[in-house]
Amino acid sequence: MQWHNKFHLEMPKGLVNDPNGLCYHQGKYQIFFQWNPFGCEHKHKHWTYTQTTDFINYTKPQIALAPVDKFDKDGCYSGSARSKNNKLEIIYTANLKDEQNIRYPRQVLVKQDDDGEFIKEKIIIDTVPEGYTTHFRDPYIFAKNNRSFIILGAQRENLTGCALIYEEIDENWIFRGELKTQLTDFGYMWECPNLFTIDDKDILVFCPQGLKAQKYQYQNLYQAGYLIGQFNPDTLEFTHGEFHEFDMGFDFYAPQVLVHENRHILIGWVGMPDKLQDYPTINDGWVHSLTLPRELILKNDKLYQRPISELNKLNQNTTTKINTDKISLFANKKLEISIPLKDISSWQGKLKFNDEYILLTYDKNTSVFTIDRNQLKLGGKGIRQFLVKAQDELNLSVYIDNSIIELYLQDGEYYATFCYYPTNDNPVFDLIQNTNNCTTLTDLNSIS
């Protein structure tokens, strides 16, 4: 049990994946997520949910949807929720496969009744529109110009990924067409799209599968990122800039964004499909977690991400070590390190425990930041490299949980989430740097 995390949402057993149905309803944030209660396999997907008012105290997770109907027997797949006329509504993908493994995805409307039960009301989209394959799922409800839409992940018949738009008219969901982006050949499937507006920009979030790895991009098996632009709900045109990845770590996928009163809170899945062998907790009967909730801020045509300010309530003791190159600590800490770049050509920080370590490096000349997990004994290994533009200072904030590290740089311009599995209980970490820096350590409490 030493790897169970303290301030990341997860379940004592089974497999957790995508956050679903994030919304604010009746004074509480509603957080649903995919869960297989029966084992650590991508099967039997239920929707489980918890509620919170402060992101510190959560209600005991309960099952909201189980794959017990004919139309969803192969999983209550991802979807979203909204609070409409003070009632909670969910739209999710009912997954059904026949003996030949052919999929029959249907989009189902669920309403919560007065006793809090989730009632599968009706199938609102029964078939896949012409021109697309049965990879058609993950409806996300959004509003634009006082009109209601859903956006779904899809695959064209030529096996390229895209997103499709439906509009709600008189309680019916009408197919409007494909979202017209400039990315006509960008992966073979787009999972988990989200569309929302920050300031006057529309943001399309999605998870393209099948992008070829490049030197400093797309290094995971599947990606999660966003486009910033303008969505025209009449023509379905989405004019946009370049695709940015949200997170440069090893273990991040399928984020969903909760919109409430001008706040945009992203929660992702700490995991990666088709990589179960990288997560040794499967031997203990549980696997995966959700990320810390992160506030999205639109700045310089990018989305900055920072753990939401509510999480400051987890802070306990804070110590600042001035000009030091070695610090010993336990997990459940936040570290903030400021590295002046004026007189150095590179920075190195080794997070060492027992006889294993994670190596973080920054090369000022090439601007390459590297996360190296090759010296870990258990779990996924490898390196991730990405470009970080830093002028005078490199600023690093690191949340260290029992088996998850979330690291963000330059005030949230760059973010990286990854797992690690120390081989003995309660290891002492030594943070060893090649330069003397000012480092602040904060003890973090558990969520409850």
Binding residues for ligand FRU, rule: CB under 6 A, are 17-18, 34, 45, 77-78, 93, 137-138, 191-192, 253-254, 273
Please give the DSSP secondary-structure letter assigned to residue 97.
Answer: B
User: How many other CB atoms are found less than 10 A from the CB of residue 27?
Assistant: 7
Q: Are 209 and 138 in contact (CB under 8 A)?
A: no
Q: Which is nearer to ligand FRU, 35 or 55 (CB)?
A: 35
For residues 260 and 27, the answer to whether their CB atoms sit within 8 Å is: no
As a whole number of angstroms, the distance between CA 149 and CA 71 comes to: 23
Handedness of CA 40, 79, 64, 250 (dihedral sign): positive
Of 92 and 357, which CB lies nearer to ligand FRU in the complex structure? 92
CB of 199 to ligand FRU, least distance (A): 29
| Smallest separation (angstroms) from ligand FRU to the CB of 92 | 8
Nearest CB to ligand FRU, comparing residues 76 and 394: 76
Q: Determine whether 18 is an active site residue.
A: yes
| Min CB(18)–ligand FRU separation in Å | 5
Nearest CB to ligand FRU, comparing residues 162 and 192 = 192
Q: CA–CA separation, 301 vs 400, rounded Å?
A: 29
Catalytic residue among 18, 72, 202, 401: 18
* Spatial separation of the C-alpha atoms in residues 139 and 72, rounded to whole Å: 15
Residues 6+ away with beta carbon under 8 Å from 91: 79, 80, 81, 107, 108, 109, 110, 124, 139, 141, 150
Q: How far is the CB of 214 from ligand FRU (least distance, A)?
A: 22
Cβ neighbours, 10 Å, residue 148: 15
Query: Least distance to ligand FRU from the beta carbon of 346, Å?
Result: 36
CA distance 292 to 435: 30
Indicate the residue among 19 and 349 with the shorter CB distance to ligand FRU: 19
Rounded CA separation 359/373 (Å):
7
Q: Looking at the annotation, which residues are catalytic?
A: 18
